[in-house]
Structure 1
Amino acid sequence: IQSERPYHRMMEQWHPLGIVGVISAFNFPVAVWSWNAMLALVCGDVVVWKPSEKVPLCSVACQNIFREVLEENGVPEGVVTIINGDYKVGEFMTTDPRVPLISATGSIRMGKIVGGVVASRLGRSILELGGNNGIIVTPSADLKLVLTGALFGAVGTAGQRCTSTRRLIVHESVYNEVKQNLANAYKQLHIGNPLDEHNHVGPLIDRDAVEKYLNAIEEVKKEGGKFLVEGGVLEGKGYESGCYVKPCIAEVEHDFRMVHEETFAPILYLIKYKDLEQAIAYHNEVPQGLSSAIMTTNMREAEQFLSVAGSDCGIANVNIGTSGAEIGGAFGGEKETGGGRESGSDSWKAYMRRQTNTVNYSTELPLAQGIKFDL
């Protein structure tokens, strides 16, 4: 960096933070840990990992695999440690000043607690929280792309992704055709053991998730929503866990209370709109801001959606769905989705501390900004 003083030079250095705490959710027990931990290690940090108590065996398996890799390469296994347990483990991590950075993935409620505690000690946090992701379908949209993007977005991983599609905001001129295409596609879905490659939809994580799914359906009905495809819990052989549910579609108004909340389950809301400004307003009025998409072959519509007058989300796509983020792009959201970014070109900066250096290689000591301080 050019210095304003003669015979001086400036530079910036990046140093490791030290200990990075990772709190991961159940739905991506490997990915969230790995893209945090590996980047932290590259930056010279060590990692303490608190996985979701709902998937302890996945985390143990990951840790054992990684331990072998460390051993084979002569790296002390303590550079990455795992602590399985309930929320109390997370409390210890978030309150400990020896952990300068906490990267937490989970619900908005959890993120507000973690973010508040870490901020109270002036620590850093990366928060990847809930999403309420919408796809806007314009009159010029390729409806084949709409069907593929919306279908996987809504039912893939049983709707248990933070990027799952929750809202399909469809122009009135193509609304009925989109609705019928989706209804026909839902009839062809196979629900069952996710290890069977012929199945499209697996189970919800536990009975508590099933209860939230059922409650959301009832609340939508109370608000006046009409179900195009009915939901429900599956019973019988192969469904003994009580966690297999039917993906469902509801026709709703944009301002229903449940439409503004994230339900971590395969419930898709259909919303009709008249013009693009109205569609963007409907899209942006929810408190979450993770992923978004527009389906259009109109360049002006696409560019408006990507502009400051368009989507207010951290991720905005054109002619692909809301789900399926790639590791090369920055991942994260706005508003109640949290803050900070994981992966992407400059995400490494979050795992390091920045230092500015000025080196004087002259025999004089001039002050900056031309200040005179002669005695």
Structure 2
Amino acid sequence: MTTTALPDTDALRARAEQALHRCGARLPAEGAAGHLAARTPLTGGTLLTLPMTTSEDADAMIAEARAAFLEWRTVPAPRRGALVKRLGELLSIHKEDLAGLVTIEAGKIHSEALGEVQEMIDICEFAVGLSRQLYGRTMASERPGHRLSESWHPLGVVGVISAFNFPVAVWSWNTAIALVCGDTVVWKPSELTPLTAVACAALLRRAAEDTGAPDGVHRLLLGGRECGERLVDDPRVALVSATGSVRMGREVGPRVAARFGRCLLELGGNNAAVVTPSADLDLAVRGIVFSAAGTAGQRCTSLRRLIVHEEVADELTQRIVHAYGQLPVGDPFQPDTLVGPLISTAAYDAMAKALETAQADGGKVLTGGDRQLREAAPEAAYVRPAVVRMPAQTAIVREETFAPVLYVLTYRTLHEAIELHNGVPQGLSSSIFTRSQREAERFLAADGSDCGIANVNIGTSGAEIGGAFGGEKETGGGRESGSDAWRAYMRRATNTVNYSDDLPLAQGVNFL
């Protein structure tokens, strides 16, 4: 199904400008150093142009963040939480404005955009509670009259490099936690979604003013690769949290390590779901279709591989193909639309190339893959999500194509299914659909899924902020958001206090 009416670029521009104004964003005139075009994938048109951050400006902003850190780290954590609490309040007030910008710049259907902003509000609430729970341990000392413990201290300036597909949520995961930990933040958003970043920065600036936080707790760099490289290479940036491709991670990780900085990488995901013969197929279809086609397949947790027992493969595949045929593709602002545009025509080209390769490897495209609304929006990339039946897990299946392509593979034994599941370089999210506790527990065991996220009877996407988010292998190994992910933003000190009148040495050493 395809909707025919699309919004006009001028109308989208006006809507974006109104949202920015309500958020208190100031848009300076284009500078001599160059400009960054804010485009919309809904039409492919240009909305606004923004001045790019110069090298000199970036240096000054990092210096300002470092100076603010020296003050911010001494503020009691519960008072730091007040800043994040106020940010959450402002996000709630401007939820519709931010969601509108996310839809305009990233192409998400509006319900998903609203959900992304809700994630921001949720992580702020989580971080406020965390501001009173930055716990260390007390350990038993082997020496009498001694106390052994650990304490956690602010780390420094945190550089955040975010991707287009979650233009605001990932920033908030890092920023809310970093701020309550006593760090300051310098953010380099995707050059594909600068307007959402400008709006978020304006709201955080207002929150800082309202709560008396130092002005330099947050800075925004607008630009391309050069801005990201400044954060990667600057020794004043204690932690670089980067979301993007594996290729990017291969460059960022060694460069940060070379200066003994810290890295938190959230890279590619080639996520799979295993469907067993005992699975509730109604449940499975719902979870699979959302995970594979939601956000037009442009989530790092999108379902890319479906590993189905041969007994139920034909029936399940037919049901998925039927469901795909009912998915409305078109204007993401329309309430009935379920699939918006890809971020660019280049993303469609990569999808088309992947489908060609899959067919050359013996795969059969069962549905989708064709471009929609081409006459109405020649510079936009609306596509129907594709389902491809594959004879084996070929090289193209082992790659991540950031588009709605779902490869269907079959298996005979659960051991074979887990081998197929783990037989890719990425390790972000995974799931199994089963009514068998034994199968579920086997999938969650140490020799089961090798991913950072393993689910039972839900899809691969839709993580909650209470759990740590991240993956293994080429996904990077970092953790963001909930649980104890806050530790990545702090440094640990082990403390020994001698409250006795003697000085016994550890391990019974005699000296003097």
TM-score when normalising by structure 2: 0.72
After superposition, the C-alpha distances for 1:298-352 in whole angstroms (9 at most, x for unaligned) are 1110000000121110000000000100000111100001012112221111100
Residues 307-322 of structure 1 mapped to structure 2, 5 A cutoff: 307-322=445-460
Q: Does 1:352 align with 2:501?
A: no
After superposition, the C-alpha distances for 1:12-51 in whole angstroms (9 at most, x for unaligned) are 1111001011100000011000010010000000001010
Query: What is the aligned partner in structure 2 of residue 253 from structure 1?
Result: 391
After superposition, the C-alpha distances for 1:33-83 in whole angstroms (9 at most, x for unaligned) are 001001000000000101001111110011111111111112223101110
More divergent stretch after superposition (347-356 vs 222-231): 222-231
Partner of 2:372: helix, strand, or coil? coil
Q: Is the 8 A contact 2:178 2:489 kept in 1?
A: yes
> Aligned equivalents of 2:475 and 2:146: distance in 1?
44
Q: Is the 8 A contact 2:374 2:380 kept in 1?
A: no
> Aligned equivalents of 2:374 and 2:252: distance in 1?
41
Q: Does 1:221 align with 2:356?
A: no
1:160 aligned residue (294, 298, 322): 298
Partner of 1:272: helix, strand, or coil? strand
Q: Is the 8 A contact 1:132 1:166 kept in 2?
A: yes
Q: Does 1:128 align with 2:279?
A: no
1:38 aligned residue (153, 162, 176): 176
Q: Does 1:64 align with 2:191?
A: no
Partner of 1:358: helix, strand, or coil? strand
Task: Report the alpha carbon displacement of residue 357 of structure 1 after superposing the two structures with TM.
Answer: 1.1
- What's the C-alpha RMSD, in Å, of the aligned pairs? 1.1
More divergent stretch after superposition (252-261 vs 126-135): 252-261
- Unpaired runs of 5+ residues, structure 2, are 1-138
Task: Report the alpha carbon displacement of residue 247 of structure 1 after superposing the two structures with TM.
Answer: 0.6
Compared CA separation, residues 366 and 325, structure 1 to 2 (3 A): same
1:212 aligned residue (350, 375, 378): 350
Query: What is the aligned partner in structure 1 of residue 189 from structure 2?
Result: 51
1:333 aligned residue (468, 471, 474): 471
Q: Is the 8 A contact 1:192 1:238 kept in 2?
A: no
Residues 288-327 of structure 1 mapped to structure 2, 5 A cutoff: 288-327=426-465
Task: Report the alpha carbon displacement of residue 238 of structure 1 after superposing the two structures with TM.
Answer: 4.6
| Relative contact order higher in (CA < 8 Å, ≥ 6 apart) | 1
Task: Report the alpha carbon displacement of residue 235 of structure 1 after superposing the two structures with TM.
Answer: 2.9
> Aligned equivalents of 2:374 and 2:265: distance in 1?
40
Task: Report the alpha carbon displacement of residue 10 of structure 1 after superposing the two structures with TM.
Answer: 1.8
Q: Does 1:370 align with 2:508?
A: yes
Query: What is the aligned partner in structure 1 of residue 226 from structure 2?
Result: 88
Q: Does 1:102 align with 2:250?
A: no
> Aligned equivalents of 1:239 and 1:289: distance in 2?
36
Query: What is the aligned partner in structure 1 of residue 16 from structure 2?
Result: none
Counterpart code for 1:139: P
Partner of 1:303: helix, strand, or coil? helix
> Aligned equivalents of 2:408 and 2:393: distance in 1?
12
Query: What is the aligned partner in structure 2 of residue 75 from structure 1?
Result: 213
Q: Is the 8 A contact 2:274 2:308 kept in 1?
A: yes
Counterpart code for 1:130: G
Partner of 1:150: helix, strand, or coil? helix
Query: What is the aligned partner in structure 2 of residue 200 from structure 1?
Result: 338
Counterpart code for 1:318: V
Q: Does 1:141 align with 2:279?
A: yes
> Aligned equivalents of 1:116 and 1:255: distance in 2?
31
Partner of 1:292: helix, strand, or coil? strand
Q: Count residues in correspondence.
A: 374
Q: Does 1:233 align with 2:366?
A: no
1:262 aligned residue (395, 400, 403): 400
Partner of 1:293: helix, strand, or coil? strand
Q: Is the 8 A contact 2:141 2:148 kept in 1?
A: yes
Partner of 2:481: helix, strand, or coil? coil
Q: Is the 8 A contact 2:327 2:337 kept in 1?
A: yes
Residues 268-283 of structure 1 mapped to structure 2, 5 A cutoff: 268-283=406-421
Counterpart code for 1:233: R
Counterpart code for 1:365: L
> Aligned equivalents of 1:277 and 1:364: distance in 2?
60
Partner of 1:241: helix, strand, or coil? coil
Counterpart code for 1:353: R
- Unpaired runs of 5+ residues, structure 1, are none
Structure with higher helix content: 2
> Aligned equivalents of 1:177 and 1:364: distance in 2?
76
> Aligned equivalents of 1:122 and 1:68: distance in 2?
34
Task: Report the alpha carbon displacement of residue 196 of structure 1 after superposing the two structures with TM.
Answer: 1.2
Task: Report the alpha carbon displacement of residue 236 of structure 1 after superposing the two structures with TM.
Answer: 4.5
Counterpart code for 2:181: C
Task: Report the alpha carbon displacement of residue 90 of structure 1 after superposing the two structures with TM.
Answer: 1.1
Task: Report the alpha carbon displacement of residue 5 of structure 1 after superposing the two structures with TM.
Answer: 1.5
Partner of 2:493: helix, strand, or coil? strand
TM-score when normalising by structure 1: 0.97
Q: Does 1:9 align with 2:9?
A: no
Partner of 2:348: helix, strand, or coil? helix
Task: Report the alpha carbon displacement of residue 237 of structure 1 after superposing the two structures with TM.
Answer: 5.8
Partner of 2:497: helix, strand, or coil? strand
Task: Report the alpha carbon displacement of residue 88 of structure 1 after superposing the two structures with TM.
Answer: 0.9
Q: Is the 8 A contact 1:233 1:242 kept in 2?
A: no
> Aligned equivalents of 2:369 and 2:384: distance in 1?
5
1:115 aligned residue (231, 241, 253): 253
Task: Report the alpha carbon displacement of residue 284 of structure 1 after superposing the two structures with TM.
Answer: 0.5
